[in-house]
Every structure is written in C-alpha cells, then in structure tokens.
Amino acid sequence: MGKENRVVSKTRRANNEGSIYQRKDGRWAGMATVGYDEDGKQLRKAVYGKSRLEVVQKLSELTSRIANNNLDYVTNNNLEDLMKEWMLVFKKQTVTPRTFEGNFRNFKLHIAPKIGKMKIYEVNTMVVQKLLNEMLEQGYSLASTRKVKFLINQFYEYAIENKLTNENPSIKTKVKSAERKIYDSENQYKAIPPEVRDKFITALNKHD
C-alpha cells in the first residue's frame, strides 16, 4: 500500500462489514473477501466512500452479491447491459408492443447515453435526480420525465428482488407536480371588471 493510502485510523466493525478504515486523505475504505485463488489465498476487493456509512453500505451490497453468486454478473456488466436484458426478457412480456416501443425508446434516448456506463451499484439518488432535472431543463415534458423515472424504478425493484443490489435510487427523487405556467404582460390572467361581470351575469340569467 502506497504512502498516500496509509491507514490513519481503524474502527471496530459490525458483522459482515469487512475491514473498514479511514485513509490519510480523509476518505474511507473497506476490504472484503470475494473468494480464493487456486492456492487457497484470499482474494480481496476494496470499496471507497466519503463517509464510513457509505463504505458500510457498499460492503453490504458487495457481500450480498457474493452470497447470492451475483458478484461476477453485476461487476462485469454495466447498467445499460443489465437494464436492456431486463427489458427484453421481463418487461417486454408484461406490456403491449406499442408500450414496450415507447419504454425502449426512452431507455435508449435518456437512460443509456447518460448513466448506462455506470455500474448498477454506482447509481445513487443524486445521479437519477440530475438525469431527471436535465430532461426538464432540455424541454422534455413532465410525462416523459416521469416515464423515465418509473422505468428506472421498475428496473431497480427487479434488481433488488433478484439480489443484484440493495437500494433503489429513484425512490427519493422528485419531479415537479405541475407544469409551470408563464404569462406575459399582455396575456396574463385578469379578473373580470365589475361592470363587465354584472352584464355577464345578467346575460347568463336570460340565455340558456
């Protein structure tokens, strides 16, 4: 281990946390055993984070994937690969062809190019929120933005159920509830003046 990575403090770890320590540069790191080589020597994998809690969460996901034999599958494939496979194998069978076309188009247009190269466990709430914000800033409708959020949510629910990850990063993201209406000075809404309102009410009483 290089000088810049020298351990400056260690903390007592809970069960299944692996070895967690804080590096000299302030970042936290954790080590977990992921297997053994042909000579019986332990194979260790490191994870890093800005806080001890972040490292604990990453180690928890790592050990969960190891326990369910999904380590290689998740590590060797990025989000785009896993999500595309899910859509073709599972999603396609549950919706109409037209709906699937729209879902796959949203995936190829908005998700794959922006976050597709990330690992499934690297995508957090901030990543998804930025993606949704960018869509709105680029002029995409609320309906399109919500469809993308819903698609990500469905995929991560599938991933959690199949022990590919522990967290759904879309749950705490926010999409504004209504389109913002902008009025110019000439066409903005105004109340009916009293003199016009009286004539309007009289007309309503005289005509069906």
| Interval 5-39: pLDDT, tens | 433 334 444 444 458 888 889 999 888 766 555 66
Cα–Cα distance measured from residue 199 to residue 10, given in angstroms and rounded to the nearest whole number: 81
Mean per-residue pLDDT, 101-108:
96
* Overall number of domains in the chain: 2
CATH number at residue 152: 1.10.150.130
Q: Which pLDDT value is given to residue 55? A: 84
The token pair at 9 is 């403090």
In a domain, 57, yes or no: no
Percentage above 90 pLDDT, the chain: 39
Residues 96 and 154 in one domain: yes
Residues in CB range of 89: below 8 A, 6 or more apart: none
DSSP string, 40-107: S-EEEEEEEESSHHHHHHHHHHHHHHHHTT-HHHHHSS-HHHHHHHHHHHTGGGTS-HHHHHHHHHHI
Single-letter code of the amino acid located at 21: Y
| Interval 105-117: pLDDT, tens | 999 999 999 999 9
In a domain, 109, yes or no: yes
In a domain, 172, yes or no: no
Name the pLDDT band for 103 (thresholds 50, 70, 90).
very high
Cα–Cα distance measured from residue 145 to residue 129, given in angstroms and rounded to the nearest whole number: 11
In a domain, 21, yes or no: yes
Q: Which pLDDT value is given to residue 61? A: 76
Residues 122 and 155 in one domain: yes
Name the pLDDT band for 183 (thresholds 50, 70, 90).
very low
Q: Which domain holds residue 124?
A: 75-161
Least confident span in 46-50, 54-58, 180-184: 180-184
Residues 83 and 144 in one domain: yes
Residues 16/63, Cβ–Cβ less than 8 Å: yes
Is the pLDDT reported for residue 92 higher than 60?
yes
How many helices and strands (H and E) does the chain possess? 8, 4
* Residue 26 DSSP symbol: S
